[in-house]
Structure 1
Amino acid sequence: MYETLPELANVALQAEGASGPALDGAAAAGLAVGLAALGAGYAERGIGAAAVGALAEDDSLFVQGLILTVLPETLVILALVVVFILG
């Protein structure tokens, strides 16, 4: 996955022979929200497993586990808010 990122950046920043960006505003916004959701899912993968393990050991850690599990989702919500404000 990481080897495709420079190619994606080249496509997003400049198309061959074009003077402007290859992506219009709506496509760039969709890409931003999609990458934010991908990052939040990647972060939640480890946080969710750790929260369930901690909850199995001690029931009093439910609130802390819930907060840490929901925290990455706020990144996607903020990305959507930015899209609606700028769009």
Structure 2
Amino acid sequence: MIEYEVTVDITDTDREAYKLWLDTYTSETKRLPGFIDVKCSVTKVLNNYYSCIRYIVKDKYVLEEFIANKEKTFLDIDRALKKRILNEGDI
């Protein structure tokens, strides 16, 4: 099992829209083969906001494949989010 963590400064981002995206991203990413869990959080530090995404995968191969194919994965998740917005009216 491998943990991989990414932290992003989201201070200048629409946080409500980002949280919606992050929720969908997390649930879609958990479905990928070899993923054990994906956890996310948004934290305020002084006047800045940060998003932390922690990926837990079964092995190094899964992590390497995810990183190598991240653009395709993001496109798939973006499509899922747009479908969710159209179908469920989240926004």
Q: TM-score surpassing 0.5?
A: no
TM-score normalized by structure 2?
0.31
- State the TM-score, normalizing by the size of structure 1: 0.32
Answer 1 or 2: which has greater strand percent.
Answer: 2
Relative contact order (C-alpha < 8 Å, sep 6+): which is higher?
A: 2
Bigger Cα Rg: 1
